């Protein structure tokens, strides 16, 4: 992939990118609503307040230090020479976003893209820690994601770093391709979710000593499904902005990206609907929502690289695979992931990155994709887990047992989300 600043960027392309990046924040907004709906009513206010707080914390720290590392402005970076090849491992942007207003247009738009991407990335683990992950620990994690994990990986893929140079340096296709953030946002966020679940453990009563796991349905299906619709609108814009910025696509390539994004989600929900209907006798609304989102996640890797039929195919696979993966993680390995983020974001994101390698015409692209995936699983996941474990010592992730029983809202905020509505609590998972 080519470094941002080195491509031409017409005034129209710049203006279009800005307009798209203003619609794109509907993606994190939709995901925040969806996360809240998938949690329980006793944690709804904490869930959404946490979403605002995590986005705020990550944005602040990214502005102060993260953007320097990610360096969308200059295109240069810290380079280590290994075996005669340059490995660009960190950016050299200015601190505190100084000089943003006078940077080249493409670099400015890249910074805006980073902020939207980061907002989405920090919301992914937040949904998985629902009903037990403390606000301050969530905010502290968002600080680490915004200062450390996201900036480095974003530099490697988008800011001219070594993953994006695999093509130039090792003839691996166009280098690692992550047009719409399938790796840098979705898989990275999904791996953070995995680490959070490992550290916080399951919700009380989720896996009783005897018998099966307890179903804990989301408390509001309207939030879940309307969140899916809102997310779609943002996703369309985000994938298109990514194509303009990271693929150097012309505006005339963008309707295809948009159509493919829609078709990927459509194929995925059709598959999830059919699959859950066959397996359980009735379709499952939550898993269909997960399927829809998985289709969007897949499109973040593929939408600009495949044909419409390819988009439907990759969506179908995501829509079949994700409900099965959700089931396996819950029943097979007892991971309690309320929002299904590991399956939806990490799982479908990985599938999308592989599919992008399979569909790409350039030789070596598949290997480049595998190298990016290996970096995520082999380097980022251990790093995230280690850093979060360390953080957990100073800012305990998990709420205490009493807090969990009364609910995050009452415990952390002193009041519920729905003070006037009568709620009945299922004693089975009290």
Which of positions 136-175 make contact with a copy of itself (CB under 8 A)?
none
Single out the residue of 232, 360, 380, 399 in contact with a copy of itself (rule: CB under 8 A).
Answer: 232
What is the token pair recorded at 6? 């080195």
User: CB-wise, 156 or 223, nearer to a copy of itself?
Assistant: 223
- Give alpha helix (H) positions in 281-374: 285-302, 308-327, 341, 348-359, 365-374
CB atoms within 10 A of CB 15: 12
Q: What is the 3-state secondary structure (H, E, C) of 108-126?
A: HHHHHHHHHHHHHHHHHHH
Single out the residue of 208, 255, 363, 378 in contact with a copy of itself (rule: CB under 8 A).
Answer: 255
Residue among 127, 244, 230 at smallest CA distance from 180: 244
Within 366-405, which residues bind a copy of itself (CB under 8 A)?
none
d(CA 268, CA 283): 14
User: CB-wise, 166 or 269, nearer to a copy of itself?
Assistant: 269
HSE on the CB side for 251, CA within 13 Å?
A: 12
Single out the residue of 59, 164, 184, 202 in contact with a copy of itself (rule: CB under 8 A).
Answer: 59
- Please choose, out of 189-197, 360-368, 395-403, 420-428, the segment that lies near a copy of itself by the rule CB under 8 A: 420-428
Single out the residue of 130, 258, 344, 355 in contact with a copy of itself (rule: CB under 8 A).
Answer: 258
- Please choose, out of 26-34, 124-132, 331-339, 380-388, the segment that lies near a copy of itself by the rule CB under 8 A: 26-34
Cβ contact 201:11 at 8 Å:
no
Q: Does 330 bind a copy of itself (CB under 8 A)?
A: no
d(CA 43, CA 49): 10
Distances (CA, A) of 97 to 74, 120, 153: 12, 20, 19
Single out the residue of 120, 188, 230, 326 in contact with a copy of itself (rule: CB under 8 A).
Answer: 230
Give least dist CB 363 to a copy of itself, A.
Answer: 22
Within 271-290, which residues bind a copy of itself (CB under 8 A)?
273, 280-285, 288-289
The rounded Cα 310 to chain-centroid distance in angstroms is 22
- Please choose, out of 158-166, 218-226, 337-345, 352-360, the segment that lies near a copy of itself by the rule CB under 8 A: 218-226
Name the strand (E) or helix (H) holding 266: helix 254-280
Give least dist CB 224 to a copy of itself, A.
Answer: 8
Give least dist CB 40 to a copy of itself, A.
Answer: 7
Q: Does 32 bind a copy of itself (CB under 8 A)?
A: yes
């Amino acid at each position: 992939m080519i470094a941002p600043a080195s491509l031409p960027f017409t005034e129209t392309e710049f203006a279009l990118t800005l307009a798209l990046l203003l619609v794109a924040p509907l993606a994190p907004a939709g995901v925040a609503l969806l996360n809240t709906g998938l949690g329980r009513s006793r944690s709804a206010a904490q869930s959404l307040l946490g979403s605002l707080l995590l986005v705020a914390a990550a944005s602040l720290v990214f502005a102060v230090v993260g953007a320097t590392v990610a360096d969308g402005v200059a295109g240069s970076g810290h380079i280590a020479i290994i075996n005669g090849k340059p490995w660009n491992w960190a950016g050299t942007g200015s601190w505190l976003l100084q000089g943003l207003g006078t940077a080249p247009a493409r670099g400015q738009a890249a910074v805006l893209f980073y902020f939207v991407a980061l907002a989405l990335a920090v919301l992914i683990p937040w949904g998985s820690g629902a009903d037990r992950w403390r606000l301050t620990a969530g905010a502290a994690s968002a600080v680490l994601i915004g200062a450390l994990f996201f900036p480095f990986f974003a530099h490697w893929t988008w800011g001219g770093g070594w993953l994006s140079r695999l093509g130039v340096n090792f003839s691996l296709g166009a280098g690692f391709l992550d047009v719409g953030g399938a790796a840098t946002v979705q898989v990275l966020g999904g791996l953070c979710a995995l680490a959070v679940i490992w550290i916080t453990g399951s919700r009380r009563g989720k896996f009783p000593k005897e018998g099966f796991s307890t179903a804990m349905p989301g408390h509001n299906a309207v939030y879940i499904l309307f969140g899916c619709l809102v997310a779609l609108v943002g996703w369309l814009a985000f994938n298109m902005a990514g194509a303009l910025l990271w693929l150097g696509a012309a505006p005339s390539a963008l309707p295809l990206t948009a159509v493919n994004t829609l078709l990927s989600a459509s194929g995925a929900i059709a598959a999830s609907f059919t699959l859950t209907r066959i397996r359980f006798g009735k379709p499952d609304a939550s898993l269909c929502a997960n399927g829809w989102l998985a289709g969007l996640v897949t499109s973040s890797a593929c939408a600009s690289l495949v044909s419409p039929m390819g988009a439907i195919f990759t969506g179908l696979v995501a829509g079949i695979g994700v409900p099965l993966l959700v089931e396996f993680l819950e029943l097979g390995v007892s991971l309690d992931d309320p929002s299904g983020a590991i399956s939806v974001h990490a799982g479908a994101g990985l599938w999308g990155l592989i599919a992008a390698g399979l569909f790409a015409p350039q030789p070596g692209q598949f290997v480049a994709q595998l190298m990016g995936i290996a970096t995520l699983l082999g380097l980022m996941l251990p790093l995230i887990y280690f850093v979060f474990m360390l953080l957990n010592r100073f800012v305990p992730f998990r709420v205490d047992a009493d807090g969990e029983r009364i609910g995050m809202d009452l415990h952390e905020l002193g009041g519920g989300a729905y003070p006037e509505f009568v709620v009945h609590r299922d004693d089975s998972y009290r």
